[in-house]
Amino acid sequence: MLASVIVPVRNRSDQIGSAVGSLLRQTTRDLEVIVVDDASTDSTVTVAKAIADPRVTVVELEASLGPSGARNAGARLATGELIGFLDSDDAVESTWLAHLAEPFSDASVVVACCGYRVLVEGEEVRRQLRLPSLGPAFHNLRGCFQAGTFLIRRPIFEAVGGYVDHLRYGENTEMSLRLCDWAAVHDANVAAVEEALLHWNLHDRGAYSAALRADSARYTLEQHGHLLALDPLLLSNHHAIIATGAAHDRKWRAAQSHFFQAWRALPTSKRAIARLLVSLAPIWRTRQWP
């Protein structure tokens, strides 16, 4: 069963070889790798094209689409029955594909998810083996939808609409809400592979702005509010992210409104009430959100 793995990349000439190399070292050769260069300005394309393996295709985008748009662009070119994604600064174990593809021998399985290792500057700081329930907003399915932790049947990825092109933060959460909802409606299964097969590097993942986070949370809340309402913590967190973005923009009424909604969703949270109180006090709020 052929798997297509899309690797979006922008300005990571020093890391793209490692990410793709980990895919090419799989114990099974039933894969194609589609590297989507998101309008890099360094030598990323040159490095990617120098990888001498017929399973690798390099696609160059004329303008940056962001990670979601680049993934979708690669997915449209995929020919495999299964589709997966890998971020360009991550890597996978050599048995990643074999283990993730195995559950698809069951026709009811539409997605298979695996565990992961979290690395900071090359040092492991966390290992997730047993995949937990994602909670009521995700119909209590067990899994993980960070890029590199799942394979999905390509027709199902297309049926749920793929990623939302403009989202640059929280895109995996938004897509997985739709995917889990689809699986529940169609009585389909999500398989959990209890092994840490992804090496998830966090060395530069803190660069997202409050505005990007807020935009994503707002979109997700608007589209999936009925699902988020099933999970008070998840609902509270989305309101808090929107509120924080508004606070950074000095839109205090909007910030206070969403901090209030965050507290209302989770009234026992000391953090939620503290953020609301700080947003109401001019002296405190300018110190908290300079």
DSSP assignment of 99-144, as one string? HHHGGGGSTTEEEEEEEEEEEETTEEEEEE-SPPB--GGGTT-B--
Closest by CA position to 281, among listed 256, 261, 260? 256
pTM comes to 0.92
Looking at residue 290, its pLDDT comes to: 82
Looking at residue 204, its pLDDT comes to: 54
Domains present along the chain, CATH in parentheses: 3-201 (3.90.550.10), 210-288 (1.25.40)
Distances (CA, A) of 11 to 51, 85, 172: 17, 18, 22
Looking at residue 47, its pLDDT comes to: 96
Distance CA 4, CA 10 (A): 20
Tokens 């809340």 — which residue? 221
The per-residue pLDDT string of the chain (290 residues; one tens digit each, 9 = 90 and over) reads 899 999 999 999 999 999 999 999 999 999 999 999 999 999 999 999 999 999 999 999 999 999 999 999 999 999 999 999 999 999 999 999 999 999 999 999 999 999 999 998 888 888 998 999 999 999 999 999 999 999 999 999 999 999 999 999 999 999 999 999 999 999 999 999 999 999 999 865 445 688 899 999 999 999 999 999 999 999 999 999 999 999 999 999 999 999 999 999 999 999 999 999 999 999 899 888 88
